[in-house]
Structure 1
Amino acid sequence: MLLWHTLATYFRRKYGVRVQKIPLDAGATCPNRDGTLSARGCIFCNDSGSGSGMGLRGLDLRAQWDAWYTKYTTTDSDRLFMAYLQSFSNTYGPASRLARLLEQVAALPGCRGIAVGTRPDCLDGEKLALLAGCGLDEIWLELGLQTCRDDTLRRINRGHTARQAEDAVRAALDAGLLVCGHLMAGLPGEDENDFLDGVDWAVSLGMQGLKLHNVYVPQGTELARQWRAGGYRPLARD
């Protein structure tokens, strides 16, 4: 029996058509970059926060949405759309900021759902309730777990523990949200067995989705410095 399938298959089974996620940069920051936890950020994170960087170029959410919407509907209009707040930690800051952000997303033309990227330590009951009550058809929390190993979390300057990640997942599930956890393969100091242990750990948390990333080495990051110095070797192709 197939226990897991792709996100595209999930959407087609549920809605009958393709559902396209549109990446949006909402101008968020992160407690690991603004000095609250650290000013250095995670060692793999670049200036766009692993997102499109369109917000840095001065485009508001509606302008970003329209640009992607036009691009996709030009080639295939038979699809639905949902917003993906991707860059940095989108639930960081006061709950009032998140409430305004959700109102803006809900008003985007043709937007059927939302996926919100964030960290486990940037959530609380009020914010989870805001997400659960935003009124869109599809509400996902994209939660950066990265690894189950606390020593790796310290090594990559993540700023939270695996226990905090577990607590955040359970709280989000209790609030009625769909949760997709993110894991990274090839983190410094980890081998294949460490990564597979992380997969087992993530699956045990009962989330609806799991996203697996291989580690990139973006320019301008601490990980790039380590790579150039010979201190980090990415996963081989095999």
Structure 2
Amino acid sequence: MKHLLLTLLLMVSAPLFAQEKIAIELIVDESGVLLDAGSAHTTKMMLLAHLKALATKRAGAHAKVNVISTSLGRTVWSGTPLELRRDPLRAQALVDAITADPARCNNLPGAFAELKSNLAQHEREGIHAVQVVVFSSLVDTPRPCSDITRITLPQMPPAQADINGALSGSANLRSISFFWVSPHQKRVWEEFLAPSFDSLRARGVPVTFLDVERSLSALRSSPFSAGEMP
């Protein structure tokens, strides 16, 4: 009888141990250099719909979500998919935070520095399954910027940000996806990020890196996953 009771307890407990805490880091470009801002906004709303859909999953409903602004270089919204689904005011605040503004500069070094800080915080909190999604044309702007700021593409990625270190140095990263990358920036960024991408792929971490055209079709499906981790 004791053996049977112990077996039942283990059967009940197993799903709990298989379930890991999930966190999502979403870097969103809302600067004046975001390509095709109108179509980009529609695609951002698709992304938020996928995020909201996680609320119907046991593992996804309470996932910790941080949204980082590329123009401000900091986290502008934190919450859960369940809050996004149930609280219209919180949902609208997120929509407002990621809506592109033609007058805004872009601060990619700040955005990736914030990501590095957030990933470290997740490790301290015992979150070992972090999904990173970057929605950006990956065009940086000097400061101050204005309507007459000239930018020549392709533009080299910012050297002052340890972006490769932020990505490859995180043991809790489970997937990373880049969407809406400028076709002019795609090659230079892929070459720049090759060290971290190679390191992540060697660990079995899925890496996605898509330009604008391919992002449109790819984001018809959710880039987020919420289920039991192996």
Class of the TM-score when normalised by the shorter of the 2 chains: 0.3 to 0.5
Bigger Rg, which one? 2
Q: Pick 1 or 2: higher relative contact order, CA cutoff 8 A, min separation 6.
A: 2
